[in-house]
Amino acid sequence: MNIALIAHDKKKELMVDFCIAYKAILEQHKLFATGTTGTLVMDATGLNIHKFNPGPMGGEQQIGGMVAYNELDFVIFFRDPLSARQYEPDVNSIQRLCDIHNIPFASNIASAEMLIKGVERGDLEWRELVNPLFNKDN
């Protein structure tokens, strides 16, 4: 599976904690992240992550491009709901693209845990049928 990890500044520590807790599952998949989030997670976990630019420098748009081409199997985007106005366009754009391509999207720890446990059980294997060529190398 191809999994994207994005976290707003106030949620980066939560993303690191999530990745530490689910490292055994995440290390079996191909991970993508915005620059700062990816660096923090790699430093804390040792996971191999393809890092894009930091979010404000276009990283969220780079991940959005992968979503637009249906190249991701799910997206975890821990957003800061208390600073929603500032970040809302970023979240809405990626979430809209996920909805178009039926890509599961988690915006909080509860939904992210359900998705990651679903991956562990094989509940998302249907994604391999949606885009078998892109997932062939996983």
pLDDT in tens, 94-132: 999 999 999 999 999 999 999 999 999 988 888 877 766
Residue 20 domain-assigned?
yes
**What pLDDT shows up at residue 129?**
78
Query: If 0-12 CB within 10 Å is exposed, 13-18 middle and 19+ buried, where does residue 49 land?
Result: buried
Q: Is residue 136 part of a domain?
A: no
Tell me the residue range of the domain where 122 lies: 7-129
Instruction: Quote the pLDDT of residue 51.
Output: 97
CB neighbour list of residue 116: distance below 8 Å, 6 or more residues apart: 22, 25, 26
Confidence band, pLDDT 50/70/90 cuts, at residue 133: low
Number of domains the chain contains:
1
Strand order in the sheet with 2-7: 49-51, 30-33, 2-7, 74-78, 105-106
List the beta bridge partners of residue 3.
31, 74
For residues 138 and 135, what is the distance between their CA atoms, to the nearest angstrom? 5
User: Quick one: pLDDT at residue 96?
Assistant: 93
